[in-house]
Amino acid sequence: MRRLPEARGGRGVVGCAYPGTPSSEIMAELAKYKEIYTEWSPNEKVAVEVAHGASLAGGRALACMKHVGLNVAADPFMTILTRASKAAW
């Protein structure tokens, strides 16, 4: 398990996405920042789950996908909405 890079305020920052426009361009830009941990996910559901995990650990998180990808990520997305998180996400 990799340790998240520390960003402002001592929290890790995570960006994850499923490849495809506009996600590819957004992740390519985020990857230029050393303080942001970025990774490609096998699908949108996994991207949302990784971002939620980072948020639960107290970090900042971004899950990037096309609007149609939210259909794939709907299960964890709706479950997450019913749970409290300590960090913005």
Q: Is residue 2 part of a domain?
A: no
Classify residue 71: in a domain, yes or no: yes
pLDDT per position in the chain (89 positions), as tens? 455 555 444 567 899 999 887 888 999 999 999 889 999 999 999 999 999 888 888 888 999 998 888 888 999 888 888 876 565 54
Expressed as residue numbers, the domain containing 60 is 12-80
Q: Which two tokens stand for residue 81?
A: 């909405």
pTM of the complete model: 0.79
How many structural domains does the chain have? 1
Write the CB contacts of 8 (distance below 8 Å, at least 6 apart in sequence): 35
- DSSP per residue, 21-65: TTHHHHHHHHTT-TTEEEEE-SSHHHHHHHHHHHHHTT-EEEEE-
Domain membership flag for residue 85: no
Asked if residue 70 is part of any domain, the answer here is yes
Burial of 24 (0-12, 13-18, 19+ CB in 10 A): middle
